[in-house]
Each structure stands twice: as structure tokens, then as C-alpha cells.
Chains A and B, each alone.
Chain A
Amino acid sequence: MMILRRKLQYLIKSAINSQKRCSTHFHYYPSTVAASEGETSRMNVFQAINNAMDIALSSDPTAIIFGEDVAFGGVFRCTIGLQDKYGKDRVFNTPLCEQGIVGFGIGAAAAGATCIAEIQFADYIYPAFDQVVNEASKYRYRSGSHFDCGKLTIRAPCGAVGHGALYHSQSVEAFFAHIPGIKVVIPRGPIQAKGLLLSCIRDNNPCVFLEPKILYRVATEHVPVKDYMLPLSKADVVVEGDNVTLVAWGTQVHVLQEVCQMAQDMLNVSCELIDLQTILPWDKQTVINSVKKTGRLLVAHEAPITSGFGAEIVSTIQKECFLNLEAPVFRVAGYDTPFPHIFEPFYIPDKWKCFDAVKKLVNF
């Protein structure tokens, strides 16, 4: 009876929310920081990224920002005001050519500049794939550390946006997770975006920083005003729980955060939610520790399931946690199709698909 009432309450709440949400498939769960982090300011993701780049440019005179249409502020407003503040030689447009943008960034970084290159959509990063795979990632190794391009960061908006179809929705992280020598990072909100981007910019290895574009305006929270960095290769336990471990990154963390609530309310199941944050090199230990406690794991990502990064997590966990697992590891991901236009609501690994997986996991 109690469960039924909870279920009903949940359904009413969710119906109201879904009216508000229109096209988005998730609620944004803001993060908070301790008062000891100092003064904060309300920022959405694009403002937090802008703020991080502002700090990077002011603290490092060699830092430059370049890409397609960044000079007037960028098509997502991430670079707004930066050219006026730092000059045309530090924030500038390039010709429309992704392989050129990344190649240019590698060379400038190798010569000593801190480079923040923007690829307008992650969907268009593939022309630069050769420069990332064969050049950026191997620069230090092949030269015996005589040369490196560790000061290069490539930013690219990624992920579903409601109507982006094939070429404005892709989640490209798995392609890049197979490249030794680079780091791949995805934030879930403004606080993480600022701290992780500053870490990428200052990390001594080439980084691919993927920004879930649906969060640019939707996600708002109180972000510390100070210059701060969040560690790379460190996952974040967003919700603590005992029965099932949920792993995701980017927007999908918010989908799963709602699933945690649904599982609690409807199944009385306590989920532990981990935001991986860094895809490569990833924080195995945090996930292993969690699965050893819960015995069950669900990994969810927007990208297609076959050879998605979830596969890497699953195989690692089955090896490291074989004796702790009480059910097969589940993956809920995009289907093995291109990302469609009108079918997007059916394509994405939304909360109901993830909730169903949790249900099956605990009933296994």
C-alpha cells in the first residue's frame, strides 16, 4: 500500500515535470559546493566554461583560443567577451577546417603555447581524427619526450540536444578512449565544467574536453568564482547507495540521478551513482570499490552500445569483481543506429529504460 502510494506520487510529480520539460529527457540536478569554497556566482555551463577560459587566459600569457566562429563569442556563447578582453591575437577565428584547427593547435602547443582549440560540434571532429590519433597522442612518446603537445586542449560540444539528428547529437568518446596518449573528459554541470576544463588546459597531456551541449543553458548552479581545478582520472560518487551501482557521464548522470530516486521510491532499492568524469584514463578503482559493495552494475551512455565505452567498463568489472557480482552487468545505451531526428525520444537511453534495467538487475 505504501509502495503504491509512493508510486502514484511519483507518477503525478513526473507528469507535471514532463509538461515543464518539453523536449528534454532529464531533470537537471544541480551540484553544490561547501561554503569554504568561497564566493560563488550563478552560472550555466556555457558561462562556467567561459569563466574557466577567462581565468586560463589571464593566468597564462601564452594561452590562445581558436576555432570556427569563436571570435564573436562562439555559436554557443562559450567564448563571449574574450576577444574584447584579451585581443585578436589570443582569441581568433580560423578557416573552416577541423584538421587544420587541431594540427595548428598541436604545433603551437609543441612550440610553447597553451592552446584551447574548439571544434564546433563533436560530430565534426572526425576530419581531425588523424591529427589526434597519429599526432597529438603520440607526440611525446615518439620523440622520447623531446617534443610534446601537452598544452593542447580540444573542446567540442557533444551529446543529444532534442533535435540534433545525425550530426549535432553524437557522443564520440569511445573513439577517443582507444587512443593511448590523450585524456578524454566530460563534465555533468557548471561546477565540474569549470574545474575540469581548467585541469585539462593546465594538464601536461593533450586533452579532449567534451561538453554536453544540452546543458549549456539548462544547467545552472552556484559556481565558485575563484580559480580552482578538479582532478582528472577521478570519478565522483554523486549519490551513495548499497544495492546497485550506476555509472554514467555527462547528461546521462542526471538521467540516472532521477533513476536513483525512482528506484528508491518504486522499488525501495538504494542506488549508488558514479559520474565517471574522465573517460581516459578512467578511474577504475572507484567503480570497483562501489561494485564490490553493491554487487550489481548498470552502465548507461548515449552513444551506440556496440563498442561504446560501457563495454570497457563492463569487461574490467567482470574481471575485477567476478566474485562480487550477483547479476550480469547491464548496459543501457543508444541503439546501433545513426542518431535519428524525429525518433530521438525512442532512441535515447532515458530514465524508463534505465529504471527497467535496475528492476531487472535487482530481480535477477
Chain B
Amino acid sequence: MLKRCLTSSSRLWFLSSKNYCTSAGNAEEDRPQFPGSRSRWTQKLQFTASTDFEGIPVYRVMNRDGTITDDKQDPNLGQATITKIYKGMTLLNTMDRVLYESQRQGRISFYMTSFGEEGTHFGSAAALNDDDLVFGQYREGGVIMWRGFKLQQAMDQCYGNEDDNAKGRQMPVHYGDKNLHFATISSPLATQLPQAVGAAYHFKRQGKGKVVICYFGEGASSEGDTHAALNFAATLECPIIFFCRNNGYAISTPTSEQYRGDGIAGRGPGYGIASVRVDGNDVMAVYNATVAARNYCVEESKPVLIEAMTYRIGHHSTSDDSTAYRSVDEVRYWHQKDHPISRLRKYMELKGWWNDDMEKEWKEDSRKQVLQTFVTGEKKLKPPLIEMFKDVYDEMPENLVKQYNELMEHLKIYKEHYPVKKFQGLSEELS
């Protein structure tokens, strides 16, 4: 029974004002000597429950009306940066609408929108250095756009055309760009977390003050890799920011079926990781928390966990109809009453930095940009067929050279059964 009390996690001790594990009178002289924990004896048998503690509070800078509630918390980002953030969020929103519709029309195979989570992307991205390495899940398009990923690049990736820097090999929204220090997205959830820790470890050894940020959803937090990453980051003291987007759902699964503790931030102290929960629909709160986390990472060479509370306004993906598992009213609330874009717009209007005319002009301009790049992306040819065989290894091994040659021989006879005209140079090669 003693063991139960001790193993119930020493962290809760420090968070709690309750003296629930009372010590014996001579505790100073007689303390437990077990190598696996640091704590004191108790004669009281008591389990520790997550309900013994109030949930970690949600840090907020600006209320739903766009008003800064405590001036000391105002990051004073200035008109230029705020406008850039706002334009980034709205451009992503416009792109999401166009690409979502284009998938519905069968023009691209798949898409995932970021509706409602634009604030987490731009608020955190703006707080980082451009050469800090980003590992993402898939709903972080805004982060790579902030870094300079062009609309055309996004379209080229979604179309998998000859200008896609990944040669059309992955599904849409699996962006990546070495020049922008954004590691290429992959579909398996949470695999990027321990990888991000490894990268952060290398940065620590390099001693150049670079940090890693790793984004993931609250559903991915249930994967074993998340456990691995949090524990490795703590024990190996890595400068990494774990950024969890807790949007309430993993496809159809609500958080009540995902976990029973105090969200994701509540787990951080159990791993010995400094943790904070922020309002993900408040760009300023996300920004402040990420700046502070970055500083902590660099100064302490330790990990930080940020849990950004938000709401997934869109469907999980174009393969999902979320009305099958949640109410339209619920979605409407977040869309109309608590949206990161409208909140920042209110802030800008209060400052006199934005108005209806500017909004109208920007909406037209951004829509034009999106449509232009979309059409351009659609018209481009697909990459040369050899790209299907390249980059498996650094050099094509003998078996792949042979398989490519066999395919080409096959196509010479059966080309009319394949979409050869869509691929760069293929018709010429076969004629």
C-alpha cells in the first residue's frame, strides 16, 4: 500500500496544495531510499486521482472580442507582423476552401483543411527562428507557409506534378521542404515525435542554439511513439517544443474516448517536462507560449510541452463526413463565436489596422492567387516515370534498374493502356 502511494507519481505532489501524503514525524531523518523515486513516507493510505487536481488552466492573452485582457501579456507584435499573420491565416483558409472543393470535383485525390486551427500554426511559427527544424503531423500547412512555402508549391504537391519537390510520390498535404527546415510529412501518426527528439539531441550537440518543434494532435498522443518521445526528450535533455493541437476529435473519436486524464498537458509533468496549456484560437497566447518555450529550450536544454486547445471546424479530411458523429450546432458555435481568424480581425480593427474595404480587397486578391496557382498546378505534367524508382536508395540498385527497364519494355507494347501522355517525356521515350 505504501508503494501505491509512492508510485502514484511524484509530480502531483508539487502541483498540489493538498497535503495528501502526510509524512511521519521524523521524516527528515528517515526518508525512503528507493532509487526510483524522491518522496517521503506516509502512514495514510491514499490513492492519487486526477480529479484531486484542477485541470491545468488555459493561458489567454486576448478575449473573444479581440481585446487584450492584461497589457503586460501583450507581445506588441506591431502592425506589420500582425498583418502578415492575418494574411497568412486567411490565405490558408482560402486555399483550404478551393482545394476542398476541388477534391469534391475529383480534381485532386485527397485534402485536409485546417479550419479553426490557423491560429496555432501562425502564432507558433512566428515565434520560432527560421532555421529551427519543424516536424509536423499533416494539419500544419500554415507553419510551412509562414516559412515561405509558396502557394504554387502547395498546389504542385497536391497535384503531384513535375514541380512537386517530392516527385508526386505522396498523397496531397504531405508537404516538406529542406530549405524551409520543415521535415516532410508522413501519414503514420506520431512517428515524427521520437524523430524530432533525435534531431533536437543533435542540435544540442552542435551548440548553435537551434531548437526543434514537433506538432501532433491529441489523438496521436495516444500512440506509443508519443510516450517514447516525451520520455526520451526528458531523460536525454533535448531542446524540443512538443506542440499538441487538441481540437477535440481524432476523426470521429471524441477526447472522452481518447484519454481520461487532464488532456495532454497534464501528462507533461509525469515525464518531468515543463508544460503549459494555451488558447489555440488566440494567436497572441500561442505566440507568447512558443517564445517562452523556445527560450526555455535554449537556456535549459530541456523539452517543453504546449497543449493548444482548439476545435476542428472542418471535417477530418475529404474522406470524412463529420456530421455523422457531431452536431452542426456544435461546429457552428466554434465557427461563429470562437474563431482564430475573426478574433485577430477584431483586434486589428480595434487598433485601426484593418477595415471592411481592406478585407474585401484582400479576399479578392488572395482568391485570385489561389485560383491562378491552382490552374497552373493542374496543367503541369506529372514527373518523369523514372522518379518512381529513384530515391529508394541514394543510388538505384541493380534490381531497380532492371525493374525500370522491364516496365519500359512493357509500356512499349501496352502503352495505350496507361496514362503515358500525362508524364513528362514518356511518350517521346516510348515512340
Instruction: Offer 26 A-B interface pairs, CB within 8 angstroms, sorted by A.
Output: A92-B236, A94-B232, A95-B228, A95-B235, A99-B194, A100-B194, A102-B194, A104-B194, A104-B195, A104-B201, A107-B202, A108-B202, A110-B183, A110-B198, A127-B224, A130-B188, A135-B188, A140-B391, A143-B178, A143-B184, A144-B184, A144-B391, A146-B166, A148-B394, A281-B398, A284-B398
Q: Is B130 an interface residue (CB 8 A)?
A: no
* A residues 103-153 touching B (CB-CB < 8 Å): 103-113, 115, 127, 130-131, 134-135, 138-148, 150
Q: How far is the CA of A41 from the CA of B164 in the complex (A)?
A: 53
CA–CA, A64 to B205, complex, Å? Answer: 10
**A89: interface (CB < 8 Å):** yes
A205 at interface (Cβ–Cβ under 8 A)? yes
**Residues in A lying within 8 Å of B, measured CB to CB:** 62, 64, 89, 92, 94-95, 97, 99-100, 102-113, 115, 127, 130-131, 134-135, 138-148, 150, 180-181, 183, 204-205, 233, 281, 284-285
- Cα–Cα distance between A323 and B275 once the two chains are bound (Å): 69
Instruction: State A142–B173 Cα separation when bound (angstroms).
Output: 12
In the complex, what residue of chain B is closest to A103 when comparing beta carbons?
Answer: B194
8 Å CB contact of A144 from B169, B183, B203, B235: B169
For the complex, give the distance between the alpha carbons of A24 and B235 in Å.
40
Interface residues of B in 194-241 (CB under 8 A from A): 194-203, 205-206, 224-225, 227-229, 231-232, 235-236
Contact of B165 among A146, A183, A205 (CB under 8 A): A146
List the B residue with the shortest CB-CB distance to A233. Answer: B397
By a CB distance below 8 angstroms, the chain A residues around B281 are: none
Taking CB atoms, residues of chain B closer than 8 Å to A100 are 194, 197, 225, 228-229, 231-232
| Given the contacts A100-B232, A144-B164, A146-B165, A135 and B202 also touching, CB distance less than 8 Å | no
- Known contacts: A150-B394, A205-B394. The answer to whether A142 contacts B166 by CB under 8 A is yes
B residues sitting closer than 8 Å to A (CB atoms) are 133, 135, 164-167, 169-170, 174, 176-178, 183-184, 186, 188, 191-203, 205-206, 224-225, 227-229, 231-232, 235-236, 391-394, 397-399
Residue of B169, B198, B235, B236 touching A111 (CB-CB under 8 A): B198
User: How far does the alpha carbon of A116 sit from the alpha carbon of B195 in the complex, in Å?
Assistant: 14
Q: Are A143 and B166 in contact (CB under 8 A)?
A: yes
Other-chain contact of A146, B184, B196, B198, B202 (Cβ < 8 Å): B184
Q: Is the CB of B232 within 8 A of A138?
A: no
**Contact pick for A145, options B202, B391, B398, B399, CB 8 Å:** B391
* Pair A94/B191 contact, Cβ less than 8 Å: no
Residues A99 and B228 in contact in the complex (CB < 8 Å), given A144-B165, A146-B165:
yes
**Contacting residue for B195 out of A135, A141, A142, CB 8 A:** A135
Tell me, in angstroms, the Cα distance from A113 to B174 when the chains sit together: 25
Known A99-B224, A144-B164; contact A134-B176, beta-carbon cutoff 8 A:
no
Q: Which of A97, A111, A131, A148 gathers most chain B CB within 10 Å?
A: A111
Known contacts A92-B236, A100-B228, A135-B186; decide if A140 and B195 are in contact (CB<8 Å). no
Closest to A137 in B: B392
CA–CA, A180 to B393, complex, Å? 8
A127 to B228, CA, bound (A): 11
Cα distance A144–B391 in the bound complex, in angstroms: 7
B191 touches A135 (CB 8 A): yes
In the complex formed, the residue of B with least CB distance to A182 is: B393
Asked if A105 contacts B198 (CB within 8 A), the reply is: yes
